Amino acid sequence: MLFTGQREEVLAALDAWPGGGDNFLVLFQAAGRPLCFRGLFALPVGSQNAVRVAGGGPERVDAGDTAAHFHFDSGSKTFLPMSTLIFSARTSGMALEGLS
């Protein structure tokens, strides 16, 4: 769930982000359900290191630091687990081990 103050922060950060072809990843509190928003990260093209844009979480996240990856299914409008632990163009979300 994204609260009003968080929504405004994320939208402002997206407007100010200088990156061109970066993918954006949502950081979730935990890999279980329900998924809870913690932060927004940018993933430069060809990189395995995401950088925090807005919200909480560490400044940088390496693909190896993650406990789970998710892709966004536009048909069901939900984040679904992925079986890989590397970042790709399909990756839309991630969860870190022990993040509360």
Residue 92, domain extent: 4-96
Residue range 50-98, pLDDT digits in tens: 999 999 999 999 888 888 899 999 999 989 999 988 888 888 999 987 6
Query: Phi and psi at residue 63, in whole multiples of 5°?
Result: -55, -35
> Can you give the pTM of this predicted structure?
0.84
Look at the chain and report how many structural domains it folds into.
1
Kindly write down the DSSP assignment for every residue of 13-81, as one continuous string: HHHH---SS-EEEEEES-SSSSP-EEEEEEE-TT-SEEEEEEESS-SEEEGGGEEEEEEEETTTTEEEE
Which CATH number belongs to the domain containing residue 27 in this structure?
Answer: 3.10.20.360
